[in-house]
Amino acid sequence: MELSLDPAALSGFLLAVIRVSAFVVVSPLLSPLLPWVAKLGVSVAVGLALAEPLAATPGLAELIGWGLVNAVLGGILGYMSGILVYLFSIAGGLLDVQGGLMAGRIVDPAFGAESTAFNRLFSNGAVALFIAGGGYIVLVRGLATSVDVVALDGALTLATEALTTQAIELSARVFLLGFELALPVSAALFLTEITLGLASRFAPQMNVFLVGLPLKNLVVILAASTSVLAFSGAGPDLIVATEEVMVDVLRALAPGS
């Protein structure tokens, strides 16, 4: 029995795996959730589905150059497509600061950094809704479209100005939406602060600090539950927005297409 491998097909598969691996490793939606074994499995499985035999067997220098192109493309597409999930982290972090929960920071092994209660709850909840709502289909479809836009052995022409403008606008949008998501809870905490201030004015003998800290914790937990309930409606919007971002990024990565 003879086992033969087509070098052109093997090179195409390797380039596809490189593109998908860069996407998975950089994506804020996938990287924190998947262990390295799962990342490798997803990269190989999706790469196998996207692989196309090259027109000719490349040399080592060509293969390295095309590998770098696919790594850059996959990394940019992965990061930009998942940047919207940070709006939930911003909202959760804002509530932790206002609610006095920053003292409860723990090391989050997913991100390799310290994380607070609502920061982790909001970000993990958003990613869970994204995956449960079929958002992974959007990600795979975006990767498949990227192969049509920029071939595995193709050249990458960056529309730097368009990509930079999109990144700035998207970052501003993330901060704005994050503050809007936390706004109802922030308003409740602001009213609580006013109430505590009036209480300290009319009852100076009361220790406002001892009373206020658990009261603010209770208010932020009760008020944040309303925001968590609204996540189910935000899930489909997050998927649609992610798809729009991937389309815009692909246009910036191949302006002539």
Cβ-Cβ contacts under 8 Å for 102 (sequence gap 6 or more): 96, 116
How much is the pLDDT for 255?
58
How much is the pLDDT for 1?
37
- pLDDT average, residue stretch 115-121: 74
d(CA 76, CA 130): 20
Residue 187 CA to its chain's centroid (Å): 27
Residue 121 CA to its chain's centroid (Å): 14
Residue 51 has pLDDT above 70, yes or no: yes
How much is the pLDDT for 23?
92
Q: Which is more confidently placed, 219 or 110?
A: 219
- Which residues are registered as beta bridge partners of 106? 115
- pLDDT average, residue stretch 99-113: 60
Confidence of residue 20 (pLDDT cuts 50, 70, 90): very high
Residue 2 has pLDDT above 60, yes or no: no
d(CA 84, CA 137): 17
How much is the pLDDT for 158?
67
59: left (phi over 0), alpha (psi -120 to 50) or beta: beta
How much is the pLDDT for 121?
78
How much is the pLDDT for 21?
92
The pLDDT tens digits of the residues spanning 57-68 come to 777 788 888 889
The pTM (predicted TM-score) of the whole model is 0.77
Mean pLDDT score across all residues of the chain: 77
What percent of the chain clears pLDDT 90, i.e. is strictly above it? 2
- pLDDT average, residue stretch 240-248: 83
Confidence of residue 106 (pLDDT cuts 50, 70, 90): low
d(CA 174, CA 106): 24
The pLDDT tens digits of the residues spanning 30-49 come to 877 777 888 888 888 888 88
Residue 216 has pLDDT above 80, yes or no: no
- pLDDT average, residue stretch 173-186: 79
Q: Which is more confidently placed, 5 or 127?
A: 127
Domain map of the chain by residue range?
A: 7-253
